Chain A
C-alpha cells in the first residue's frame, strides 16, 4: 500500500504495527518538570505503575509530582463510585502537594470501562478548587511521545481566548485573571506568536532568543512554565510547533483555539533551525538576516564529527516520531539513510519536514529512504540482517541483542530526553548520534569475538 502523491517521490508504506515503543504515559516524566507546580495523576493499573517505575528509574524516588491512582477489582466491577474515589485521592494530593493544576491521565483500563472523567472534572474542580486537565494518553491509541501531544491538546481547552475572554468553566481561566497584562483586544491587526511543545526552560529561552534577533517576539508557550501563564489563543495568534509529534495539538489549536498554523520543519539540527526560523519570519512578513552565515558557521564547527558519518548507512527502527527530522539532519551530515520506521506519520503536520528531507536527499545526491509507518520489528531485523547498516537507531528492547550480532546501535530514547533543538545544541545532537561509532573506534577488544556468528533475527 504505497502512497505516492504527485509532488513527492517519497514512498511511505505501512506494516503490521508490531514494534516496541514506550507507553505514552511516560510523558509525565518530562511534562511535570516543564510545568512548575503541576501534578500528574495516572489513573490505571499495576501495569502502568510498573512501567513508569521501571522506565523512569531513580526519578521516582525524588518525590516527583506524579502518582498512580491504581484501580482495584472493585473499581472495575463498578462496586465503587469513581467520583467519590477520585475525590478522595485528589483531596489527598491537594493537601499533600497543593498543586496548581492536576493533570489526569486516563490509561487503557479506564478507557475500556468507559470512565467518564471529562464529565466529572467540572464537579471535581468546583469541589476541590483546583483546575483539572483530562488527557486520554494510553497504549490503545498512541505511542511514546504522542503522550505529550494528547496532554497538550487537552490543555488547549484551558487556554483563554484572546478576543472573547470568557470561558465556560467556573474556575478562573489563566488568560482572564485580573493580573494578566492588558491584551491588545481592540487591535485585531496585531499578530502574535505562540509556540507549542514541551522544552526545558533554558532551551525555550534559546529558541525565543533566536526569534528575537529577527524581531519576532514569542507571546507564549504551550505548555507554559506555569499553569497560570497558559497562552491566550484566538484569530490573530499564529502557532508553530517545535516537535514532530504534536499533530493533535496543532489540530486542537486550529479548530478549538482558532489559531493559525505555520507549517515548518522542526528546529532540530542547524538546517532545521534555519528552516524553522525562516518559516516563522515569513508568517510575520520579516526577511530573516544572518541565518545563512550563522548556519554555515555551525556546520563548520561540526565538520570533524560529520566526517565520521560520511557515507555511513543508517536505519531507524522507529519508536518516538522524531525519526523524520533526525533522518533529514543525518543525510545533511553526509549519511545515507536506508529506512525510516515511524509509529505514526501525520503527513499534513509533517509536510514541510518531509519536503525538506526530500530536498536534502536530492542536494546531497543520496537515494531517498523508505519510510515505514507502523513497522514490524521482526521484518525489520530481517532487513537489518540483509542490509548490515553502519548504525541502527532503535529502542532499548533491540539495542543489546543487535550489538551482540555485531550491529552498532544508538538508543533512540535519549533523543527525547537530551537537548537537541536549535543551533547551539547541534553539536550535542551530533555527538549523541556518532557516540556509538566513536566507541567502536576506541574499543580495542576484538569485536569479532564478541559477535555471534549466526545472525538470527527474532
Chain B
C-alpha cells in the first residue's frame, strides 16, 4: 500500500482508451464499475471534443459480480456492433474487473462468432486488449494497445494476402503514437507535417490519431516510421522493423539542434533506402526532394535556423543575455524533459541543475540522454519527492508539469509547463506546437516569459511596487453616515467566510439594507435577509 496524493501517469485502461478513441470508427467497451466511466468526461472537457466519446462501459455491479459477466459483456459487444457499425470493437478491463480473472478473451470470441453468424456482411472486428493494471501505467498500456491493434491487422492482411508491401515511389513515412489528450499533440502533428512537407516526405499514415484500422495493412507502403514521443508508438515501430524491415527514428524534433538532427537522420534513412533498392532509385530519378539531397537539406536547415525561426536570433539578441547561467529544474515525460533540458543548455545557455522524469520504465534512456547536460538526474513518480528536491535546489525557474507549477506557486518560483499531465489551460486553441521550427519559437517565448515574469516580481518587490495596503475608503461604512452599525461576532465570522473579492460588496449591501430597515446591530439573520432582498 502506498500513500499517494497525486500521480503523474494514469491507470492502464486510460492509455488503451486514448489509443482506441483516437482511431476513426473504433469503439471501446470497458469492463468495469460505473464510476470508471470517466474517460468521456476527459475527452469532452479537455480536448473539447464535439463527438460522443466512442467508449461505453459494460457495467460491473453487484448483480454481475454474483452471476459472472459473460452474458452482459457479449450482449454489449453485439449491441454496439448493431448501433454504430464500427470497424473494430475493443474490449478492455479496468483494474477492478481484471482481478476477477474472467476469461474476457473467450467472451470476445463468442461475440465475434455471434456477429458473423447473424450478419455475414459485418466487417466488424472484435479484439480483447489486456494490460496488467498493477504493472503497466497509462503510457505503457497505450504503447502496448497500439502495437496489438497494428499487429492484429497486419497478421490478418498476411493471412488474407492483402496489402502487400508496395513502397511508395517517393519518400514517405508513418507517424506513430500521436493520440488524443496528448500534450499539444494536435499542434505538434500539424507542425511535423509542415516540416515533412518542406523536406519532400509524404505522410503515408498517422496512427492512431485520425487513422483508420482498415488502412493499417498499408502501413508498409511507407519507407520508414517516425516516433515523435516515447509515450507511445515505440513498440509498434520495433515490431514493424522486425517484421518488415522498416527503419524508424525516435529523435524528438524539439529545439533547433534536434530538429536538424531529426532531418539529417531521416535523410540518411531515405538515401540508404534508395541506394539499396533499385526500384526506388528508378522511381525517384528526375525528382529531387530535399530529403534525398544532402546539400539542399543543409541549406534548408541553415535558412530555417537563421532566418525563418526567430529562436536562434532571439537567443543571440542582447535581450536574452540575462538568461545566462540562470539555474533551472526540468521535469516531465521522458521525451519532453530530455528535449527541453538539451534545448535549455545548448541553445539558451541556461544551467539545468536537475533534470528528471516520472517515466521510471524509461530511466536508462533518459539518463543516457541528459547526462552531461545537468548536475543531477531525478527519476521518480512521487510528486512530493520532486517538490522536496526543488525546494532544496535554489533554482530560478521550474519547467515541469502541472504539479511542478503548483510547487512553483508555493515557493514563489516562475514555472513553465512543458509536459503532461496538464490542466485544461494546456489545451490551447491558438497554434502552439513544441516540435519543429515554429515549436522552437513557442518554447523560446515560454521560457523567456517565465523568467521575465519572475524578474518583474523581483523588481516590484524591490521597489515595493505592489500596493498591498488595504483599501478601506471604499467601504460603505466609513462614509459619514449618521448611524453607527455594529456587527455581532457570528455575523463578522460569516462575513469573513465570503470570498475576498465580493466581501466588501456583501458588507456594503448588508449595511445599506440595515440602514433602510433602521437596524443598528447586524446579526446573521440580517445578512441573509439582505441577501434575499437584493437577489
Contact = CB atoms under 8 A, between A and B. Distances in A.
- Indicate whether A and B interact: yes
A51 B38 contact: yes
B420 to A, nearest CB: 12
Contacts of B52: 381, 397-398, 401, 457-458
B99 A55 contact: no
B35 interface: yes
Contact of B494 (A139, A205, A457): A205
A25 B37 contact: no
B535 A45 contact: no
A43 B14 CA distance: 20
Main secondary structure of the interface of A (DSSP, over half): helix
Given A55-B41, A397-B44, A401-B50, 6 more contacts: A49-B7, A50-B14, A73-B134, A141-B62, A397-B37, A428-B535
A18 B48 CA distance: 23
Contacts of A407: none
A9 interface: no
A218 interface: no
Contacts of A54: 38, 41-42
B94 interface: yes
Contact of A46 (B61, B133, B525, B528): B133
A378 B497 CA distance: 43
B94 A143 contact: no
A436 to B, nearest CB: 16
B41 A397 contact: yes
B531 interface: yes
Interface stretch (A108-116, A183-191, A438-446): A108-116
14 contacts: A18-B57, A22-B38, A46-B11, A49-B7, A71-B1, A80-B1, A85-B1, A139-B32, A139-B35, A140-B60, A205-B494, A209-B528, A397-B37, A458-B84
A75 B95 CA distance: 13
A18 B56 contact: yes
Given A108-B96, A404-B50, A61 B38 contact: no
Contacts of A69: 1-4
List 3 A-B pairs, minimum CB-CB distance, nearest first: A23-B35, A139-B35, A139-B33
Given A139-B33, A404-B50, A424 B96 contact: no
Contacts of B2: 68-70, 72
B315 to A, nearest CB: 33
A36 B528 CA distance: 23
Contact of B99 (A93, A109, A301): A109
Nearest to A427: B535
Contacts of A401: 44, 49-52
Nearest to A450: B50
Contact of A68 (B5, B10, B45, B134): B5
B95 A17 contact: no
B423 interface: yes
Interface in B55-72: 56-57, 59-62, 65
A51 B7 CA distance: 11
A86 interface: yes
B44 A24 contact: no
B50 A452 contact: yes
B96 A47 contact: yes
Interface of B: 1-7, 10-11, 13-14, 32-38, 40-45, 48-54, 56-57, 59-62, 65, 76, 83-84, 94-96, 99-100, 133-135, 137, 403, 406, 423, 494, 497, 524-525, 528, 531-532, 535
A89 B1 contact: yes
Contacts of B4: 49, 67-70
B61 A140 contact: yes
A92 interface: yes
A141 B61 contact: yes
A400 B44 contact: yes
Contacts, number: 185
A180 interface: no
Contact of A301 (B13, B50, B535): B535
Contacts of B10: 46, 50
Interface residues of A, number: 73
A140 B6 contact: no
B361 to A, nearest CB: 15
A423 interface: yes
A61 B409 CA distance: 10
A401 B524 CA distance: 44
Nearest to A42: B4
Contacts of A141: 61-62
A283 interface: no
A68 B11 CA distance: 14
Contacts of B11: 45-47, 50
Contact of B83 (A25, A43, A458): A458
A395 interface: yes
A98 interface: no
Interface string A131-165: 00000001111010000000000000000000000
Nearest to A205: B524
Nearest to A80: B1
B34 A21 contact: yes
Contact of A424 (B13, B43, B535): B535
Contacts of A57: 423
Given A47-B36, A205-B494, A93 B3 contact: yes
B532 A209 contact: no
A54 B133 CA distance: 19
A402 B222 CA distance: 39
A202 interface: yes
A140 B41 CA distance: 19
A54 B5 CA distance: 12
B469 to A, nearest CB: 27
A388 interface: no
A261 to B, nearest CB: 26
Interface in A37-92: 43, 45-47, 49-51, 53-55, 57-58, 60-61, 67-73, 75-76, 80, 85-86, 88-89, 92
A301 B34 CA distance: 41
Contact of A397 (B32, B33, B53, B100): B53
B359 to A, nearest CB: 15
Nearest to B12: A46
B2 to A, nearest CB: 4
A201 interface: yes
Contacts of A86: 1
A404 B38 contact: no
Contact of B95 (A43, A47, A457): A47
A60 B94 CA distance: 23
B84 A60 contact: no
Contact of A400 (B14, B45, B59, B100): B45
A139 B83 contact: no
Interface string A409-425: 00000000000000110
B61 A397 contact: no
Interface in A95-135: 108-109, 112-113
Contacts of B94: 47
